[in-house]
Structure 1
Amino acid sequence: MSGDQDEDFQESLDTLVAISRAQPDRLNQVENEQKAFFDRMTATRETVTQILKDMVQEEESMGQMLADKEEERKLREKEMESLDEELSQLTAKSQMMDSELEALQSELEGLRSSDNELTVLQNEIEDDTTEVIPSAIHVAKLYSLITKIKWDYDTEPHILKGVHYGPDLVSPIHIDTSATSRRDIADQLWNFVSSEW
């Protein structure tokens, strides 16, 4: 108790003693009023204590909610960083694919140019040739020059036979056309042709 409360309490006791000597009924009334006052004070104290507990609990709840929100914000930041990194990787990959596409288009243009040059060369050979060469033999020789394949024409009609003279390796060719599709035959033969000019 503080000093002021002690003095108030002492004055109340002195007043009670004085009243009890002079008026016993008044003492009972004062005791009842004092009991009612203490009951109200106790109820008020309990109410205030409960309010304070509720406030502390609310503050703890708000603090936890703030901590949860901060954690959620950090997770969102990490997700955003991850998405930014993924976007950067995809952008780089897209740029690389664009470069590859440009290179392939350039290579295609080169192949078209080579095809045109071969056509011009074929036309010049046809124009410059003084003796008559049958078309099939001429085309076979042209293909032989391009593909570096020498065909064996003394075989059964359904057998393709020959030899490919590669830069480092000589490879025999033996394909049964009755058991192999035209596409597979074309794929096998194109595998022998070098794409380097």
Structure 2
Amino acid sequence: MATGHNFQDLVETGDVLVAFINSSQPDNLRRAKDERRAVFDKHAEAKKIVTQILTEVTQIEENWGQSLLDTEQEKNHWKMELEELEEQLRKGTAKKQMTDSELQFLQRELDSLKNGEHELQTLQNEVDEDTTEIIPSAVYKARLYSHLTKIKWEYDTQPNVLKGVHYGEDLATPINIDSSTRSRCDVSDQLWGFVSTK
């Protein structure tokens, strides 16, 4: 009973559809098809435009990314150039400071030599002006060596014993050397060790 009722409903629905199709004008059907085709074409055109826009956006993003990468590489290149220049400047500054220090040292050495030359000239003048007393050559040399080395010798010692005092800048150092037990070279080296190189 229920199945027959459902079939009857289906038949009635089919009749209604057939009647609707029969009652529809061919122009209306054609217009509906055309409108459907126009909607489909608009949809396809919109899809094509959106795809093109997305492609262009992707290309723009890639171009910007490449430009950003190039800019970063250029920035790193200039950073390395700047670091190299700074290193060269540091080396140049250090070299200049070293040269300045060496120049100052040489100037001090020159001044010291000039002062020593002046002192020697003064001593020579004193010797030359001394007309009342004849100074033997050995005494003159002893005074000259004493002035240069800052060593005052004792002369009343045994022949093989060297006695005296070295008067340094800060302290006086006694000297007592037995030259019979050491070579002349060792004695000379020890004595020259007292002389300042300044």
- Structure 1 position 107, deviation (Å): 2.0
Report how many residues are paired.
Answer: 159
- Structure 1 position 95, deviation (Å): 4.4
Distance 2:110 2:82 in 1: 42
Q: Which residue of 2 aligns with 1:108?
A: 109
Distance 1:55 1:184 in 2: 92
Output one character per residue of 1:39-87: Cα deviation in whole Å (capped at 9) or x when no partner.
xx7xxx79x95x7776555444433322222222222333344344434
Relative distance call for 1:17 and 1:64 in structure 2 (3 A) is closer
Q: Which residue of 2 aligns with 1:148?
A: 150
Q: Give the one of 136, 153, 172 matched to 1:133.
A: 136
The one-letter code of the counterpart of 1:120 is Q
Q: Which has the larger radius of gyration?
A: 2
Q: Give the one of 171, 174, 185 matched to 2:173.
A: 171
Contact 1:160 1:177 in 2 (8 A): no
Output one character per residue of 1:107-132: Cα deviation in whole Å (capped at 9) or x when no partner.
23322322332332343243234224
Contact 1:177 1:185 in 2 (8 A): no
SS of residue in 2 equivalent to 1:172:
strand
- Structure 1 position 98, deviation (Å): 4.6
Q: Give the one of 189, 194, 197 matched to 1:189.
A: 194
Where do 5+ consecutive residues of structure 1 fail to align? Answer: 1-10, 19-33
Relative distance call for 1:183 and 1:63 in structure 2 (3 A) is farther
Relative distance call for 1:85 and 1:12 in structure 2 (3 A) is farther
Q: Which residue of 2 aligns with 1:24?
A: none
The one-letter code of the counterpart of 1:14 is L
How much is the aligned-residue C-alpha RMSD, in angstroms?
4.6
Q: Which residue of 2 aligns with 1:15?
A: 30
Q: Which has the higher contact order (CA 8 A, sep 6+)?
A: 2
Map 1:61-140 to 2 at 5 A: 61-129=62-130, 130-135=133-138, 137-140=139-142
The one-letter code of the counterpart of 2:195 is W
Contact 2:150 2:166 in 1 (8 A): yes
Relative distance call for 1:143 and 1:179 in structure 2 (3 A) is closer
Distance 1:82 1:95 in 2: 20
Distance 1:156 1:68 in 2: 90
Relative distance call for 1:53 and 1:118 in structure 2 (3 A) is same
TM-score computed with the length of structure 1 as normaliser: 0.52
Contact 2:166 2:194 in 1 (8 A): no
The one-letter code of the counterpart of 1:77 is W
Relative distance call for 1:185 and 1:147 in structure 2 (3 A) is closer
- Structure 1 position 102, deviation (Å): 4.0
The one-letter code of the counterpart of 2:64 is G
Where do 5+ consecutive residues of structure 2 fail to align? Answer: 1-25
